[in-house]
Amino acid sequence: MDSPILLPAWPVYDKGVRARSGAEYMLHFLRKRRVQRFFSRGEWMRRLFFLGYAEDTQEGDGLILIQIDGLARGQLERALKRRKMPFLRRLLRRHKYRLHSHYSGLPSSTPAVQGELFYGRRCAVPAWDFYRNDTGAYRSMFDQAAAQEVETMLREQGEGLLEGGSAYCDIYSGGAKTPNFCAACLGWNYMLRINPVGIALGLVLHAYVAVRLVARLLLELVLAVRDLFAGVKPGEFWTEVRFIPGRTFMSIVMRDLTALGVKMDAARGVRVIHVNFLGYDDLAHRRGPGSLYAHWTLKGIDYCISRIYRMAVISSRRRYRIWIYSDHGQEKVVPYLRYAGKPIAEAVADVLRKQGVNLERLRAAEQRRHTERGRWLRHDGEAARKRAAQAEEETQDAKKEPKITNKGPVSHVYLFAELPAALQERVARALVLEARIPMVLVRAGDAAVLHTAAGLFQLPEDTAKVFGNEHPFVQAIGQDLVRLAHHRHAGNFVLLGWQQKGPYVSFAFENGSHAGPGPRETHGFALLPEDSHLPELEKGYLRPEDLFHAAQRVLGRAEAATPPAPAPATADR
């Protein structure tokens, strides 16, 4: 296990004490910490929630992992340059942090990245929404049943990274003892322990949250009116207005609640804590990853990170390491409906019929919105279980009915039967030329074939020919595309919206998206202390399983000493 570091805490500690001896400085430092703990809202809220200290708080370092959902490294560097994230800028300049590239793997979305980060398993899901090839049942990672099902499979690989710790706003619990706002575990555990007096005092201590909420609602209304006249999404103005409260709650209220929860856990000395800040990703989907409004949310996230850092520094129960990273980035996209002039399900169904595939209709998955994460707040999961059972009954009756997913730039076409090789090739070619789908990926033995307008390419051998050597992860992309095509729940055809020349297409109606192999959506970041023990970076970047093993080392878990070799690309099938 690497040696513990004493974080330099807060810059104010250095003022007026530079001329003192080492012993005097340490005494001054400890007194400052006691005073700050007394006035800390995190400490007071811990008491109001009747939360005791964690077990074994004197054994080993602690680890706080902070995820900024959807923030590409390029967008982070832009925000740092424009001083949108002053605290992260200070970490790089004064506190010996180093910025690394973080490759998301495929699909470049949170369920896949967290499956690899929490359990060391690549390509945990084929997409955010998918159908089971064995039952035909629809699965969306917004839903508790789907998240629990995938995590049960992941737990077969071994213990989760967050075993015994805390998790906030994640897809999986990662083995956390107290998961909060997670898809797999609904509700907020701490809510059950609060008392009326605690609620009143908590509101007084955090009155600024209500002020920011009202201001944000007013700003959202103004922007909705602007979008109506700008034509961002014609004909859906009132639909967008209806979702304003949900978007505001997710990016303001939930952000502050999760920061408060992490601060209380740091005050308690919880060994490992993971928090996911969702605000930027949600607004980047709506308005684009480089939009001023999406970047505006980064100021609030930066402030929350600074509060967490400060609480971790003054915690009396454990010495914490703090890692900050993004799971993936986002690409600016054009909706397929606008690009091709018809819905993706209609375009694909036309191609299948023309090529002689027996098809009455192509059933499209329900369009789901990121604001549906608000359902994760419900502690009682009975409604979610009823919805899952109802969806199971509906799909069992139509198991053999062809289906298509349509969320983001990765879409799966399910025929639930293997086509003859010649017909499969004709259909894939027609999807590219007639339906104007930029790329179509299909399985081919132990490898995969990628159809584009420029021709047919074998993967992983021809990866550089398709994506170009300038792609930051060109070698890894080819292997991960093969793994994606061979996932046990992948469709017969995997439709990809990325193209080297031309607009990036999303099969949902959005302005920013991710899940595919693009150079920005796969390029996240990891902001780590300089002395972090990381794998040899011969490839020049980290991926989630590298962070998994490095985190296990910090936590002193023996099984992380020798990382296992990655599973073969076709292991899922």
Per-residue model confidence (pLDDT) at position 2: 39
Per-residue model confidence (pLDDT) at position 283: 87
Is the per-residue pLDDT at 3 higher than 60?
no
> What distance in Å separates the CA atoms of residue 93 and residue 83, rounded to the nearest whole number?
13
Instruction: Specify whether the CB–CB gap between 559 and 354 falls below 8 A.
Output: no
Of 512, 569, 558, 564, the C-alpha closest to 109 is 512
Identify the band that residue 533 occupies on the pLDDT scale cut at 50, 70 and 90. confident
Two tokens at 274?
């993971």
Of 310, 321, 317, the C-alpha closest to 40 is 310
Instruction: State in words which class domain 11-103+160-331+520-535+546-559 has.
Output: alpha beta
Instruction: Specify whether the CB–CB gap between 419 and 492 falls below 8 A.
Output: yes
Preceding peptide of 420 cis, ω within 30°: no
Is the per-residue pLDDT at 554 higher than 60?
yes
Q: Which tops the pLDDT comparison, 213 or 3?
A: 213
Lowest mean pLDDT among 49-58, 312-321, 402-411, 438-447: 49-58
Two tokens at 230?
């700008």
How many other CB atoms are there within 10 angstroms of residue 526's CB atom?
Answer: 24
Is the per-residue pLDDT at 28 higher than 90?
no
pLDDT over 90, % of the chain? 53
Is the per-residue pLDDT at 16 higher than 50?
no
Two tokens at 308?
């967490």
Name the most confidently modeled range: 67-71, 253-257, 383-387, 393-397. 67-71
Per-residue model confidence (pLDDT) at position 246: 67
For tokens 């601060």, what's the residue? 263
Identify the band that residue 429 occupies on the pLDDT scale cut at 50, 70 and 90. very high
Identify the band that residue 209 occupies on the pLDDT scale cut at 50, 70 and 90. low
Per-residue model confidence (pLDDT) at position 379: 47
For tokens 């706002």, what's the residue? 181
Q: What is the mean pLDDT of the chain?
A: 82
Residue 191, CA distances (Å) to 45, 194, 341 in order: 12, 6, 48
Query: Residue 65: what residue type?
Result: L
Please name every residue paired with 102 in a beta bridge, in sequence order, or none if there are none.
Answer: 524, 542
Per-residue model confidence (pLDDT) at position 296: 87
Per-residue model confidence (pLDDT) at position 401: 87
pLDDT digit string, tens, across residues 107-143: 999 999 999 999 999 999 999 999 999 988 999 998 8
| Number of residues assigned to the chain | 573
Is the per-residue pLDDT at 384 higher than 70?
no
Instruction: Specify whether the CB–CB gap between 120 and 87 falls below 8 A.
Output: no
Strand 331-332 with 272-277, pairing: unpaired
Segment 323-331 mean pLDDT: 98
First to last CA, the chain: 36
Is the per-residue pLDDT at 277 higher than 50?
yes
Determine the 3-state secondary structure of 183 from DSSP. Answer: coil
Q: Give φ, ψ of 333 to 5 degrees.
A: -130, 165
Of 555, 400, 409, 546, the C-alpha closest to 476 is 546
Identify the band that residue 191 occupies on the pLDDT scale cut at 50, 70 and 90. very low
Strand 403-404 with 363-364, pairing: parallel
Is the per-residue pLDDT at 255 higher than 60?
yes
Instruction: Specify whether the CB–CB gap between 233 and 335 falls below 8 A.
Output: no
pLDDT digit string, tens, across residues 51-94: 655 666 666 689 999 999 999 999 999 999 999 999 999 999 99
Q: Give φ, ψ of 189 to 5 degrees.
A: -60, -40
User: Distance of alpha carbon 133 from its chain centroid, rounded?
Assistant: 25
For tokens 């093993």, what's the residue? 549
Of 144, 375, 85, the C-alpha closest to 250 is 375
Residue 478, CA distances (Å) to 179, 229, 566 in order: 35, 43, 15
Segment 190-216 mean pLDDT: 61
For the chain, domain boundaries: 11-103+160-331+520-535+546-559, 334-362+402-509
Instruction: Specify whether the CB–CB gap between 35 and 9 falls below 8 A.
Output: no
pLDDT digit string, tens, across residues 482-507: 999 999 999 999 999 999 889 999 99
Per-residue model confidence (pLDDT) at position 287: 86
Q: Give φ, ψ of 442 to 5 degrees.
A: -135, 155
Classify the phi-psi angles of 543: left when phi > 0, otherwise alpha if psi is within -120 to 50, otherwise beta.
beta
For tokens 């990891």, what's the residue? 526
Lowest mean pLDDT among 108-117, 196-205, 334-343, 553-562: 196-205
pTM metric for this prediction:
0.85
Per-residue model confidence (pLDDT) at position 7: 44
User: Distance of alpha carbon 97 from its chain centroid, rounded?
Assistant: 22
Segment 346-355 mean pLDDT: 95
Beta-carbon contacts of 495 under 8 Å, excluding residues fewer than 6 positions away, are 344, 348, 410, 411, 412, 413, 431, 437, 439, 440, 441, 507
Is the per-residue pLDDT at 98 higher than 70?
yes
Burial of 446 by CB count in 10 Å (0-12 exposed, 13-18 middle, 19+ buried)?
exposed
Of 174, 193, 61, 195, the C-alpha closest to 124 is 174
Identify the band that residue 347 occupies on the pLDDT scale cut at 50, 70 and 90. very high
pLDDT over 70, % of the chain? 71
